[in-house]
Amino acid sequence: MVVVMAPEATNADVQAVVDLVRSAGGTAFVSRGVSRTVVGLVGDVADFDALNLGGLAGVLRVIRVSAPYKLVSREHHPDRSVIRVGGVPIGPDTLTIIAGPCAVESAEQTLRAAWMAKAAGAALLRGGAFKPRTSPYSYQGLGEEGLRILAGVRAETGMPVVTEVIDPGHVDLVASYADMLQVGARNMQNFALLQAVGSAGRPVLLKRGFSATVEEWLSAAEYIAQRGNLDIVLCERGIRTFENATRNTLDISAVPVAQRLSHLPVIVDPSHSGGRRDLVLPLTRAAIAVGADGLIIDVHPEPTAARCDGDQALVDADIRQLAEVASVLPPVMGRTLAMSPDRSETVAAHP
């Protein structure tokens, strides 16, 4: 940490900072300039945080120079991680597509969507049974019935299942059906939920909050990692900005930025970020080209009948195009398209 003293700070003010840092077991280096003095701190940042140095007389600013996360940081773990979901890898050598309906509405709709997903190149099936909705009057999902449908479709198609959990009290239930637990954007700082999924023994897909900085996103991942679960995949899904031509603004730069700061895989959600069907394919191509490790895409057999986000779901006519992108672009980036395991393996893993 660096403490910048105000121009009017006295020698006693500077000394008070130095003394306080030392009392917390740290070391302080003082650099005196013509108009300002800067104090460099060495030691445990968490200890310094508790000192409230910013509140001391003569202190202008306290600047943190090291990251507030450790386990997910690339600093001490230079190799990028590979996370396995029901046997499917997500990491630096593959391009893994997760696809399916935004909400599970029926067994038939989910199965049709899964076959569409597989045709498009997806290895993993997504589908929401518990839906976090802005309005209490919107469709809230099928609950456990939806989880059972997902498990049935997994048995039929061989695709491991990714599904969202929104209540810490449901984590065990959802984990008993799913191969990967999704924490949604609105829950990225729901710390009780983060801790619960950190103890659930399943890989976690952590969506970036739509107003979270990359640093806050990695700090949220650290909550999960702290409970002993490092099987975390980060998902960029658009941030909230002033622009309203798209639902959110896909922060494409966040992919290389997060990959440089953390060893965890980073995937992109081109469906929710744009909120428009016509943007899904261009954003999918951009995500692969920027270096994303995977994608999560909405598909629906009948979008006009969808209970949730039908405007953005890919339909039959788009699937062939997505399949072509999925076959052409990953090799250009030195990646292999990840495939679902053989059906019998998936079934075996979930007796």
- For residues 165 to 204, the per-residue mask of contacts with its own copies, x marking binding by CB under 8 A and - elsewhere, is -xxxx----------------xx-xxxxx-----------
Structure tokens at 80: 């990028």
Amino acid sitting at position 288: I
Give the shortest CB-63-to-its own copies separation in angstroms.
6
Residue type, 311: D
Nearest distance from residue 205's CB to its own copies, in Å?
18
Which residue, 136 or 351, is less far from its own copies as judged by CB? 136
List the beta bridge partners of residue 96: 294
Q: Which is nearer to its own copies, 84 or 186 (CB)?
A: 186
CB 346 within 8 A of CB 123: no
- The contact mask relative to its own copies for 268-307 (x = CB under 8 A, - = no) is -----xx--xxx--xx-xxxxxxx-----------xxxxx
Does 253 sit near its own copies (CB under 8 A)?
yes
User: In sequence order, which ranges of 158-206 are alpha helices (DSSP H)?
Assistant: 171-177, 191-198
- Provide the 8-state DSSP code for 138: S
**Pairing between β-strand 124-126 and β-strand 83-85 as defined by DSSP bridges:** unpaired
Gyration radius of the chain over CA positions: 23
Stretch near its own copies under the rule CB under 8 A, chosen from 113-121, 128-136, 150-158, 335-343:
128-136
Closest C-alpha among 138, 135, 142 to residue 127: 142
> Where is 94: in which H helix or E strand?
strand 94-100
**Between residue 212 and residue 241, which ones bind its own copies under the rule CB under 8 A?**
213-216, 219, 222-223, 226, 239-241
Phi first, then psi, for residue 323 (nearest 5°) are: -60, -35
141 neighbors 98 (Cβ within 8 angstroms): no
Closest distance to its own copies from the beta carbon of 46 (Å): 5
CB of 226 to its own copies, least distance (A): 5
Return the number of the residue (304 or 344) whose C-beta is nearest its own copies. Answer: 304
* Nearest residue (CB) to its own copies, 44 versus 345: 44
CB of 162 to its own copies, least distance (A): 20
Rounded to a whole number of angstroms, the minimum distance from the CB of residue 76 to its own copies is: 9
Phi, psi (rounded to 5 degrees) for 152: -65, -40
Q: Which is nearer to its own copies, 226 or 321 (CB)?
A: 226
Which of these ranges, 95-103, 114-122, 127-135, 144-152, lies near its own copies under the rule CB under 8 A? 127-135
Q: What is the DSSP string of 139-195?
A: ----THHHHHHHHHHHHHH---EEEE---GGGHHHHHHH-SEEEE-GGGTT-HHHHH
- Measured CA to CA, the distance from residue 273 to residue 6 in angstroms comes to 43
* CA quadruple 248, 170, 159, 280: dihedral, nearest 10: -10
Least distance (Å) between residue 264 CB and its own copies: 16
Q: Edge-to-edge strands of the sheet including 27-32?
A: 27-32, 37-42, 2-5, 59-63
Tokens 């909230």 found at: 240
Beta-sheet pairing, 124-126 with 94-100: parallel
Supply the minimum distance, in Å, between the C-beta of residue 114 and its own copies.
Answer: 20
Q: Determine if 211 is a binding residue for its own copies (CB under 8 A).
A: yes
Report if residue 25 touches its own copies, rule: CB under 8 A.
no
Q: Which is nearer to its own copies, 250 or 338 (CB)?
A: 250
Q: State in angstroms the smallest separation of the CB of 269 from its own copies.
A: 13
User: How many chain residues interact with its own copies (CB under 8 A)?
Assistant: 106
Select from 15, 25, 260, 334 the one that contacts its own copies (CB under 8 A).
260
* Residues in 26-85 at the binding interface with its own copies, rule: CB under 8 A: 27, 29, 31-36, 38, 40-43, 46, 49-52, 54-56, 60-61, 63, 65-66, 68-69, 75
